[in-house]
Structure 1
Amino acid sequence: MEASRPGVDATGAVSAMVLAIGKPSFPHVLIDTLRAVADVGHCMVFTFEDQRSARCLLSTGNIAIGPDLGAAYSEHFHTADPNREVIFRERAEARHIVLPHFARRMYPKGYRKLFFEDSEIVDKAATAIWVGDHCTYVNFYRTVAQGGFTAGQRQRITEVAPVVAAIVARHCQEQAAVTDPADKFALLFTTGGPLSVLTAREKDVCRRILEGFSSEAIAGDLGIALNSVFTYRKRAYEKLGIASQNELFAIALRLMAAPKPLN
């Protein structure tokens, strides 16, 4: 039985995403909306400027290694993605790009192992849109536990894809325009990347460290015990492979200094 209702107003369901544009909550609203429409398990968003580079803008959902997949795709595997040929071929068209239905045989062996077998992805749908010199490439996944998209779910994804792509592209533009340091720090924890592997409370603590809070101030701001602050900080540092506040700042500064995804 499908998790989404057969009679759902697919286009109307994305209205909550419009209200979340530019906000840290956007990834959560995005995946909640996609689950309501077609029980999407995970969503990843990439951007292209040219055929030599790609960047992961967002990874949200139920695939634990999502951030690792985003990094691998950005660094190397984007060159093996058959959808890229379609994306660049239709670059001159100022419209939503309809991408081919998923078929594993479309992808090279190494790509299939990492992105489908290791991550337990069994089905996907994708859409893309060019905004100026940047392409926003949105991927919708289903995992082994969910099974493939039904015909009805795939139809609803197709219906909302143009609107979702445009909203995601606009959100990414808003992210690029953020100037307040606190907002920039918040965004580092909501998109795909090393900081996204942390739990919600670990992110709360690390974000406040980056904003200059003392441990005592963090405890007061979050309403938790001082020892809990130390515990969350220790767990976060272990996950990030660091041992000091300076190393946390180095990660944040490296992410903030990365090329902006959209104009």
Structure 2
Amino acid sequence: MPGLTDLIEHLGTPAFPATLFRSTFDWAKASHLTAFAFEPRQKPRLIFAENTGTAPIARGVADQYCRDYWRHDLANRVPLDTGTADRSESWILHTQASEIVHSDYRRACYASVCLDHRVSLIDMKGNHTLRINIYRSKGDAFSDDDVQRIADRAGLLLALTRRHADYGLADRQNSFTRYRDRLAGVAPGLTRREREVCAAIILGLTSEGIALELGVGLNTVLTYKKRAYARLGISSQNELMRLVLN
């Protein structure tokens, strides 16, 4: 696969998703590329979301998918909660928007961003499932040769993404704890939830992403953020980062 050396070098770093997307675009011609981690009876965790163009459209759509629509995904035809500790299998699923029955899901995650075709790579190990989605726009369907080309590289794509997710999750958990504890020292007046929200903001999570991480509503996150900024006398993420990192 082209760019494999760069991909390995960037595993676990913020540069990996964009590097993987560039590499994938060279041979899959994807408009969007997303990856999620699934566990039984839990909302999926977004690993990355990349798209063509300069605006980060895919991230917003992926956050909305995790929050509102993941249960309606056709890839869930194989139940996520029936695995056993020693179960291990992978498969590929080719779908298009017209197959989606749930109209709000189809509109929010496909029609609103002009997507129509998707190839999903799914890897289940026990109760842990990794899913990579490769999207194309309407009028640009995947041919049988395209799907075979993706299938030929599926094992490598899944292995790289799983390792990246493992590295990134461990690093993020360590950083989250460090920033939260730092906030307790520099801003003891913040509540526990306010510290958690601020730590997540420093890590670059969107408000939607923070809501998913903490298991609370979006409006709750916005309230905690507003209160924390007021207590700290700041008005921006940059000011928050300077306060904590300095």
The TM-score, its normalising length taken from structure 2, stands at 0.65
In structure 1, distance between residues paired with 2:201 and 2:15? 10
Q: CA deviation at 1:130?
A: 3.0
The answer as to 2:237 corresponding to 1:248 is: yes
The answer as to 2:60 corresponding to 1:68 is: yes
What are the superposed Cα offsets for residues 183-242 of structure 1, whole Å, 9 maximum, x if unpaired?
A: x999945xx74599xxxxxxxxxxxxxxxxxxxxxxxxxxxxxxxxxxxxxxxxxxx999
**Equivalent residue for 1:114, pick from 83, 108, 117:** 108
- In structure 1, stretches of 5+ residues that fail to align are 1-10, 197-239, 253-263
- Structural mapping, 1:118-133, within 5 Å: 118-131=112-125, 133=127
- In structure 2, stretches of 5+ residues that fail to align are 180-198, 210-224, 242-246
Flag the 1:245–1:66 CA change in 2: closer, same or farther, 3 A: farther
**Equivalent residue for 1:153, pick from 146, 165, 169:** 146
Between the two structures, name the one with larger relative contact order (CA 8 Å, sep ≥ 6).
Answer: 1
Residue of structure 2 equivalent to 1:20: 10
Q: CA deviation at 1:131?
A: 4.4
Question: Identity across aligned pairs (percent)?
Answer: 18
- Structural mapping, 1:148-227, within 5 Å: 148-178=141-171, 179=174, 188-189=203-204, 193=206
Aligned residue pairs: how many? Answer: 194
Flag the 1:133–1:77 CA change in 2: closer, same or farther, 3 A: same
2:72 maps to amino acid: A
Residue of structure 1 equivalent to 2:134: 140
The TM-score, its normalising length taken from structure 1, stands at 0.61
What root-mean-square deviation, in Å, do the aligned CA atoms of Structure 1 and Structure 2 show?
3.6
In structure 2, distance between residues paired with 1:132 and 1:251? 40
Maintained 8 Å contact 1:40/1:142? yes
In structure 2, distance between residues paired with 1:87 and 1:142? 26
Q: CA deviation at 1:56?
A: 1.7
In structure 2, distance between residues paired with 1:248 and 1:82? 37
Maintained 8 Å contact 1:38/1:153? yes
